[in-house]
């Protein structure tokens, strides 16, 4: 669905009794669009963190003296960063956007997976922070493939035609989370009670999706990207 459709649903539904929702006229009040868009981004991040809805891959070229690889754009080759070792080997037409939520898998140039976060395994790699890959014994020039859980692209409030990419079974959860955020910032016991009601609805929908496995929680990758980039 497009951002404009999401705004319409909120106006007719969860925000229909509020001025921010134009009292149910089918649109968000223009001056409140940036505020609601910020809550849209909060909700998408919350849902994309709870469910693996998008996976992407990174290529890391190891440097002998670097054991901590920060998975952030300033270490990406495509950014033209002045960092002396841009070890994230992305491409100009496929840049790393800094959308990493957490690392799911790491594999070598042959597609063999590494053990993660096992202090008793001498070959293990570690993820001490969500955007940090720790390689205790780096091999200079050898590449690592990193499969990661990605967040939704940031929604811009001036683009009402932007697509919100979310399974339809979670659309109600997103709407309830946005309503929760709006009501939680309003004074009065009734508004606070309403905010908790929306938060409960959000959590109930998510739990139902999890229990009934309505969103495929598994992921698969061919691990061919290293070969495609010529790092084998």
Q: How far apart (Å, rounded) are the C-alpha atoms in residues 96 and 225?
A: 14
Query: Residues 30-82: pLDDT tens digits?
Result: 999 999 999 999 999 999 999 999 999 999 999 999 999 999 999 999 988 77
Does position 220 have pLDDT exceeding 70, yes or no? no
> Model confidence at 116, in pLDDT bands (50, 70, 90)?
very high
pLDDT at 84: 85
From residue 204, alpha-carbon distances to 14, 45, 137, 177, 183 in Å are 16, 18, 45, 11, 18
pTM: 0.89
Does position 194 have pLDDT exceeding 80, yes or no? yes
Mean pLDDT over 148-172 rounds to 95
Q: Are 48 and 42 in contact (CB under 8 A)?
A: no
Does position 229 have pLDDT exceeding 70, yes or no? no
pLDDT at 232: 46
> Model confidence at 94, in pLDDT bands (50, 70, 90)?
confident
Could you tell me what percent of the chain has a pLDDT over 90?
81
Could you tell me what percent of the chain has a pLDDT over 70?
93
- Picking from 7-11, 99-103, 221-225, which range would have the lowest pLDDT averaged per residue? 221-225
Residue burial 122-143, b: 16+ Cβ < 10 Å; e: rest: eebbbbeeeeebbbeebeeeeb
């Amino acid at each position: 669905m497009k951002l404009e459709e999401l705004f319409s649903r909120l106006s007719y539904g969860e925000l229909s009794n509020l001025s921010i929702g134009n009292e149910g006229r089918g649109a968000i009040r223009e001056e409140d669009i940036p505020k609601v868009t910020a809550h849209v981004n909060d909700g998408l991040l919350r849902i994309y963190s709870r469910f693996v809805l998008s996976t992407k891959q990174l290529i890391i070229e190891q440097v002998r003296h670097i054991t901590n690889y920060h998975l952030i754009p300033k270490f990406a080759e495509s950014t033209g960063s002045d960092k002396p070792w841009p070890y994230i080997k992305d491409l100009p037409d496929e840049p790393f956007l800094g959308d990493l939520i957490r690392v799911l898998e790491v594999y070598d140039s042959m597609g063999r997976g590494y053990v993660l976060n096992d202090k008793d395994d001498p070959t293990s790699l570690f993820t001490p922070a969500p955007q940090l890959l720790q390689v205790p014994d780096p091999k200079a020039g050898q590449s690592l493939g990193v499969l990661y859980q990605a967040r939704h692209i940031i929604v811009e409030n001036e683009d009402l035609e932007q697509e919100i990419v979310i399974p339809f079974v979670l659309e109600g959860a997103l709407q309830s989370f946005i309503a929760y955020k709006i009501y939680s910032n309003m004074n009065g016991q009734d508004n606070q009670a309403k905010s908790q009601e929306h938060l409960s609805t959000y959590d109930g929908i998510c739990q139902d999706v999890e229990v009934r496995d309505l969103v495929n929680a598994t992921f698969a990758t061919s691990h061919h990207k290293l070969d495609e980039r010529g790092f084998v």
